[in-house]
Chains A and B, each alone.
Chain A
Amino acid sequence: MLSQFGIMFLFILTAFAFIGGILLFGKLLRPDRPTEEKLTTYESGEEPVGNAGVQFNPRFYVVALVFVLFDVELVLLFPWATVFGQPTLIAETGGLWGWFALTEAVVFVVILALGLAYAWAKGYLDWEKPQPQLPTVATKVPTTLYEQVNERYKRPTTP
């Protein structure tokens, strides 16, 4: 007789065997005619641009860091919640327990919130928009002239 974990093990084995079998089956059946288009990376139907291993903006990283911290610290609220609702403790203290436990949780969350406020006030959460630099050319021709030319030969806007 298999134990429950034995069944799990059989299940895992079957899954691997099944996937392997399907892939092998497909390999045997399908025609194999690769072209360059077929081998390119699929990028939502667009032409892929650049390297896949590009660097992410470090700003993502700062936000992620702040998120991870606040996210994980909240794990400590789960044990708190089990104690908070215990009927025996509430009955013993005449209802005071709830307020006591709530205050403690509030203190905890407020300290975390102060940390967030600090990061915010320091400007780590600001998402700086890129400032596009307009190219400037050193020429005697005043810019208004260009604008007049552009205005005259403007392409008719499509309705």
Chain B
Amino acid sequence: MQPNDVAVNIPEVIQQIPLNYYLIFSTALFVIGIIGVLTRRNAIIIFMSIELMLNAVNTLLIAFSSYRSDPTGQVFVFFIMAVAAAEVSVGLAIIVMIYRNIRTIDVGVLNKLKW
């Protein structure tokens, strides 16, 4: 086994693992993210769980993209990364704004709006 063989073609390396494994892996990541969003109370942790969900999507898109030898999926990943960064800044700004007002980021404390 030559080390060069590995580096030549990344899609081939990705394809050494069956597609279903990627599917299961990213679904597992995604579900972990969902559970994190639903059970945690710290806004930052919820936020990290959402990022985990997005990264699960990225993994899945890259796997599909290399299995189909179609670069569009990877371009989509670039878009997701760029947009997620914009979303992160806004989200963190909101969290800092709340922290300045009430000195906590526990979402359980935020219950002023009830029907």
Contact = CB atoms under 8 A, between A and B. Distances in A.
Interface in B61-114: 75, 78-79, 81-82, 84-86, 88-89, 92-93, 96
Given A61-B96, A68-B88, A4 B78 contact: no
B89 A79 contact: no
Contacts of B93: 65
A3 interface: yes
A13 interface: no
Nearest to A61: B96
B14 to A, nearest CB: 11
A4 B81 contact: no
A75 to B, nearest CB: 5
A73 B85 contact: yes
B85 A72 contact: yes
Interface residues of A toward B: which range? 10 to 19
A5 B81 contact: no
Contact of A75 (B17, B81, B96): B81
Interface string A1-32: 00111000000000000000000000000000
Given A69-B86, A79-B78, 4 more contacts: A61-B96, A72-B81, A76-B79, A76-B82
Interface of B: 1, 6, 16-17, 75, 78-79, 81-82, 84-86, 88-89, 92-93, 96
Interface of A: 3-5, 58, 61, 65, 68-69, 71-73, 75-76, 78-79
Among all A-B residue pairs, the 3 with the closest Cβ atoms? A72-B85, A65-B89, A75-B81
27 contacts: A4-B1, A4-B6, A4-B16, A5-B16, A58-B96, A61-B92, A61-B96, A65-B89, A65-B92, A65-B93, A68-B88, A69-B85, A69-B86, A71-B85, A72-B81, A72-B82, A72-B84, A72-B85, A73-B82, A73-B85, A75-B78, A75-B81, A75-B82, A76-B78, A76-B82, A78-B78, A79-B78
